[in-house]
Amino acid sequence: MALRIAHLSFSASGGAGTVATRLAATQRALGHDAEVLSSITGTLHTTPLAKPRHTLAAGLDQYVVKAPDFHAPVSLYRNRLSDLASSDVADADVIHLHWPHGLIDPDELTTIAGNRMVVWTLHDMAALTGGCHYSLGCEGFTSGCEGCPAVRAPWKKAITRSQQRTAEALAAVPHLRLASPSQWLATEASRSQSVKGHDVHVIPNPLPPNLTEPMAQKDAKTQLGIPQDHTVFMVSASNLDDPVKAARVALEAFGEASSGGLRATLLVVGQGGPAQTIPNVRPLGYLRGDQMTTALSASDYLVVPSLAENQPLAISEAQAMGVSLIARDATGLPEHTVYDDDAKLFSHPSELRDLFDTLAKASRSASSRQKLMAVARERFDPATAATRYLELYSQ
């Protein structure tokens, strides 16, 4: 029987919105009526006037509520906003939440859900905590978020109440299933005061339904003007100045390594980033479609120095093009190295500098690229992810 599935995410872009869009498209191809409902198509940063109330709330959370020395985002006032009416999902058989913050007030979730199946894919730690999207080592979410270090003093009790509200809202939904793209986040969820007691199903995020094939690496290097004997590294983030993404760590480590005459190029993909010039660093800006295919085809390694990640699409998409991973040994990142024979982990920036130096002296084989590409495309297959969610809906 065909299901009517409503995927809900505040934005249709970003990691969560992209996953929602890919799942909906694949589920439609499988014969179901799936759609994505969102408040905006971009971000509040790029289109602040699209949702003025949400922009104001996000600004309060960032510049008034959040402690200045805490790097991850916090959503307190934004969580109290709602942009969705029950009538918007009246015909849905299944409600699938992705990033509902600002789209659904937790207190309204029970009313909107009714007696229907609700699946919430956890794309970060926001459902587990009282407000922060990554706890960055804080264990407070396991015991009530008291004395929260992520916010200034006047809002610490509000964070505790916020986690309690989430716990009560989820407990009141009669048919709730939780999913996580990573085992790391599923384990963290089992320790959280707000979602503890709910089973969390691990389902990897899907690749694009129609993923292209990579170019020959030598052709991609030629197109980008990269010497053929260079090992090519890439660092990528939509916002290179995001402190959680920590792109500057990769840039500084590469700069230190390149002072010794490194035969390597670092491609920098995304908006922002430091203004200083570093030898053999190529800022490419924001890339789409064929441009990103060319950059990935030229690359040997994707460097991910993030302080916290769940299961980033950038990694699975790079690996599906044969690009291996260098990542910080933290949160969900090590899970991407299990099936990647050439992957490397680091804990300290000095270790990353040494990896740049070592890996630039060796070349990856074409067979290793092909093997990784095949494994990643099977592991993150969109039809497999969509089918696993369909099975979850019926439980």
* Segment 304-337, tens digit of pLDDT: 999 999 999 999 999 999 999 999 999 999 999 9
CA gap 66, 373 in Å, rounded: 40
Q: 196: which 2 tokens?
A: 């503890």
The count of other CB atoms within 10 Å of the CB of residue 208 is: 16
pTM here is 0.95
pLDDT of residue 42: 85
Per residue in 210-219, pLDDT tens? 899 999 999 9
Query: What sign does the dihedral 198-199-204-208 (CA atoms) show?
Result: negative
CA dist list (Å): 169 to 59, 226, 384: 25, 54, 30
Residues 73 and 132: beta-carbon distance below 8 Å: yes
3-state secondary structure 36-51: EECCECCCCCCCHHHC
- The dihedral of CA 261, 267, 270, 275: what is its sign? positive
Contact in structure between 328 and 355 (CB atoms under 8 Å): no
Distance between CA atoms of 15 and 246, rounded to whole angstroms?
Answer: 17
Both structure tokens of 17: 């919105």
CA distance 310 to 333: 7
Contact 22, 206 (CB under 8 A): yes
Q: Which of 255, 260, 261 is nearest to 229 (CA)?
A: 261
Instruction: Give the Cα separation of 330 and 347 in Å (integer).
Output: 8
- The alpha carbon of 111 is separated from its chain's Cα centroid by a whole number of angstroms, namely 29
The pLDDT, as a whole number, for residue 275 is: 63
Query: CB within 8 A of 215, min separation 6: which ones?
Result: 223, 293, 294, 297
Would the CA dihedral through 102, 105, 106, 112 be positive or negative?
Answer: negative
Q: How far is CA 341 from the centre of its chain?
A: 23
List, run by run, the mean pLDDT of 10-residue segments along the chain (395 residues). Answer: 95 94 97 96 85 95 97 95 89 96 92 95 97 97 97 98 96 96 97 93 96 96 96 95 95 90 94 80 92 97 97 97 98 97 96 94 91 98 98 94
